[in-house]
Amino acid sequence: MVEERDLRNLCRTMIILRVICIGVALSVMAFLTGAGLDITGGLAIASLLLVVFPLSAIWWLVFKSGYPVQPLIYSQLIADLVIEGGIVYFTGGAQSHLAIFFLVTIFLAGVLLHGRGAVIAATLSSVLFAGASLLERAYSQGSSFVAAGQSRPVYAILNIALQVTFFYLVAGLAGYVSRRIKLFGAKLRWTTSELERARLDTRLIIESMNSGLVTVDSDCVITEFNRSAFRILGIRPEQATGRNIRDIMEAVTPELCKKIVDAVENGTHEDRGEVIATTATGKVIPLGISVSLLSGAENNASGAVVVFQDLTEVKTMAHKIRLADRLAALGELSAGIAHEIRTPLASICGSIEMLRDLLVPEGDSGRIIDLVIKESERLRKKIDYFLQFASSRPAKFREVCLHSILSEVVCLVRNHPHFSDQTSIELVADTATDAWVDEETMKQVFYNLAINAVEALDGPGEVKIRLEVTDSCHAGGYARISFEDNGTGIDEEDLGRIFEPFYTSKKSGTGLGLAIAAKIVEDHGGRLEIESTREVGTVATVYLPLDKMTVEQGTARAVSSDRLAGTSVTRVE
């Protein structure tokens, strides 16, 4: 069935076209009459046609008023049929060649009003044609429109019957066409709906991709640029779509731009590759790319599609895995060496102390013995660190108040040799927060981070410890403990290596403090982050889960993952 909106459009078109056609017909009749051609019934026909103008004006006003369109179409078709009947009457009745206009109106009624409208139009046409033919025959015997030998009533009745038959045949044809149009319209609407749904689904899939996607046509003009491409490259889709790929991506990633152009112009493709991109903010990122050809008709290349991902996290994780492998080997080596050295070292220390007690040396001999004892003790502590890093005791998790642990740490730090009268340390806690932790090892982590902050102060300075609850880092609720100092900060080249065992920028130290702290935090299902700006200060942040289930899940992940997978460092410019 024709949609109401389409029906209104057709109704408006009928009014306009009718006026135009009548105007043209009257103009032609006026021209022919002026040329000396005598048109039979011309004045009467012209009068009938002139009636259309005021009727059209009325129809137009009714149409604009919002009146239901179907009755308006019926009125137009009935008026057309009446005028056509008058024309048939004045042009020879049953012998009129203008009876074809009835067929046009019947067909139009069938298309607009379907089978029922076509039958009504055919019936009314039959009545009007028969009436016009009989009236014309009654008042125009001997007219030139009647052929010789055909003046008998049987011929008029036969002609009327034939015309009526044609009327109903055309009505049937119009009804069939109407049904086909209705069926085609329904299929078209369903197909359009499906295409729109498929388009939306495709658009949703493209926009939901984590990978960047860019497509170009055969002229290297960008036709698709999804949100992930914007997130990775920093180029807005509205700025890219419709422009040449060279204008958009040449400055960002010339290597990828060249690969796309080569794919379009030379038909080359690349299943897997890697390029470098520089975003609008100046950040250099590695991209993993795949360039494919878009095939059109007859398998001709009609463009190219490139899918790319930011490999920054992948490369970072690969670095951590390599570091974890090195640490595993180093840990085994450290444990072996430490165990081999520890026993004879204990004997040496004991023997030296016995000699000092027995001989009571003085002068240089006493200082040498004291130096041996001191260095042996320092060596023993390093070995203890090696063993602590290489192996770990079973954790004893229980619910502990983090505020209490931090308060103890603050007291210990205030008694540390590096803490002076020019140094201040402050604990800021929103609330007394309980977490499921191993109290002993976690106290060691907090103490190491606090001591690092104090040692980073060059002269007067302050250390601030903050305890707060957040869910911004992970889901499920985490405690965030940050250690802030306004010291000298960490150099960029050192910042990337601070979690490596035995790496330290201090004059004294094993370089194992942060490595051990990171491992302990990871074993708790948390993470340790370090942010630093040179000459501004450093912030070390520990994230710890608050509930037992999250701790157990994190611990299980830590057992199966690499040793430092839970650590990260950030350089703040």
Domain segments of the chain: what residues?
4-188, 210-310, 315-390, 397-571
Architecture of domain 397-571: 2-Layer Sandwich (3.30)
Query: Shortest CA distance to 476 belongs to which of 399, 553, 546, 542?
Result: 546
Residue 93 and residue 145 in contact, taking contact as beta carbons nearer than 8 Å: yes
**Does the global pTM surpass 0.75?**
no
Mapped onto helix, strand or coil, the DSSP state of residue 117 is helix
- Residue-by-residue DSSP string for 486-546: -S----HHHHTTTTSTT---SSS--S-HHHHHHHHHHHTT-EEEEEEETTTEEEEEEEEES
Per the rule left: phi > 0, alpha: psi between -120 and 50, beta: everything else, 36 is left
Query: Shortest CA distance to 428 belongs to which of 487, 489, 481?
Result: 481
pLDDT at 557: 55
Q: How far is CA 427 from the centre of its chain?
A: 44
pLDDT at 549: 66
Cα(112)–Cα(90) distance, integer angstroms: 29
CB atoms within 10 A of CB 469: 14
pLDDT at 541: 93
Q: How far is CA 71 from the centre of its chain?
A: 50
CB atoms within 10 A of CB 299: 8
Residue 373's alpha-carbon distances to 43, 347, 364, in angstroms, are: 138, 12, 14
Query: Shortest CA distance to 74 belongs to which of 86, 82, 85, 65?
Result: 82
Can you point out the beta strands (E) in 266-417?
A: 270-278, 284-295, 301-310, 397-401
Cα(516)–Cα(444) distance, integer angstroms: 9
**Structure letter (DSSP) for residue 122:** H
pLDDT at 164: 87
Query: CA-CA-CA-CA torsion for 263, 268, 273, 278, nearest 10 degrees?
Result: -30
Residue 166 and residue 129 in contact, taking contact as beta carbons nearer than 8 Å: no
Six-digit token string for 427: 């604990």
Cα(407)–Cα(555) distance, integer angstroms: 26
CB-based contacts of 321, cutoff 8 Å, min separation 6: 562
210-310 and 397-571 share one fold: no
Cα(430)–Cα(395) distance, integer angstroms: 28
Q: For residue 333, how many C-alpha atoms fall within 13 Å in the half-sphere facing its CB? A: 7
Q: Which CATH number fits domain 315-390: 3.40.50.300, 1.10.630.10, 1.20.140.10, 1.10.287.130?
A: 1.10.287.130
Q: Does domain 210-310 have CATH number 3.30.450.20?
A: yes
CB-based contacts of 531, cutoff 8 Å, min separation 6: 538, 539, 541, 569, 570, 571, 572
Six-digit token string for 106: 């019947």
pLDDT in tens for each of the 573 residues of the chain?
A: 446 777 888 888 888 988 898 888 888 888 878 777 767 677 888 888 888 889 889 989 988 888 888 888 888 889 988 988 888 888 877 777 888 888 888 888 888 888 888 899 899 988 988 888 888 777 765 444 444 444 566 777 888 888 888 888 988 888 888 888 888 878 888 888 888 888 778 778 888 888 889 999 888 899 889 888 888 888 888 888 888 988 888 888 888 888 888 888 888 888 888 888 888 777 888 999 998 888 765 666 678 899 998 888 888 777 777 766 766 676 666 666 666 776 777 777 778 777 777 777 777 777 787 778 777 777 777 677 666 655 555 667 888 888 899 999 998 888 887 888 888 899 988 777 888 888 888 888 998 899 888 888 877 889 999 998 876 544 457 889 999 998 888 887 777 777 776 667 665 566 667 877 888 888 888 889 999 888 888 999 999 888 776 666 556 555 544 443 344 443 333
Query: Shortest CA distance to 456 belongs to which of 495, 430, 406?
Result: 495
Cα(332)–Cα(336) distance, integer angstroms: 6
Handedness of CA 395, 399, 402, 403 (dihedral sign): negative
Query: Shortest CA distance to 306 belongs to which of 317, 321, 291?
Result: 291
Query: Shortest CA distance to 488 belongs to which of 529, 465, 457?
Result: 457
Cα(269)–Cα(519) distance, integer angstroms: 44
Question: Cα 374–378–380 angle (5° rounding)?
Answer: 115
State residue 379 phi and psi, 5-degree precision: -65, -40
